[in-house]
Amino acid sequence: MAKYKQSSSAPEQPTVIKPREGEAFSQDGFGFEWKIDDADTDGRFAVVHHTPFDPGVLAAPLHKHSREDEYSFILEGTMGAILGDEVVEADPGSWVFKPRHQWHTFWNPGDTPCHVIELISPAGFEDYFRELRDTIDDPEAMIPLNDKYGLEMDFESIPELCERFDLVSPDA
């Protein structure tokens, strides 16, 4: 039986990541905490914690990834989402799968903050959120960033999504 050989870049000892540990960014009712990066898993996956986002907040315009799948685990609150042509709501303990090449978005339709843990596979896209900090207020500057990460965004979807689901955009 072949023995599993761990890569030199991944941690060789068990690791505990405590609440509020690690790099974080928040703006306008939506934020990120980086928990597990590509270097921690040899690029297999990454984990980003979407810090509690407020009721009635749209997290992003409709968008689709060309390289990675996302798996959202709802810790607290309710997450609404469009997945392709379906509208879903997920409660605490639920997983929501957002496969690459599928248009999707998500928001908080509830009355309390929503906590979401995002598993991204393969890793690498977690760095998009780091670079987003510098362009979050400038959609024009986001275009080359989105291209770099193979992300297609429909910014024109924001007004319709906000009206349809009684939401506000994070930058409103």
Instruction: Report the chain (172 residues): mean pLDDT per 10 consecutive residues.
Output: 45 75 72 86 92 90 96 97 96 97 97 95 92 80 91 94 92 55
- d(Cα 118, Cα 126) in Å, to the nearest integer? 10
The confidence score (pLDDT) of residue 7 equals 47
> Which option is the CATH number for 24-165: 1.20.1250.20, 2.60.120.260, 2.60.120.10, 2.60.120.430?
2.60.120.10
User: Residue 129 contacts by C-beta under 8 Å, 6 or more apart in sequence?
Assistant: 25, 32, 34, 48
| Domain extents in the chain | 24-165
The confidence score (pLDDT) of residue 65 equals 97
- d(Cα 72, Cα 100) in Å, to the nearest integer? 13
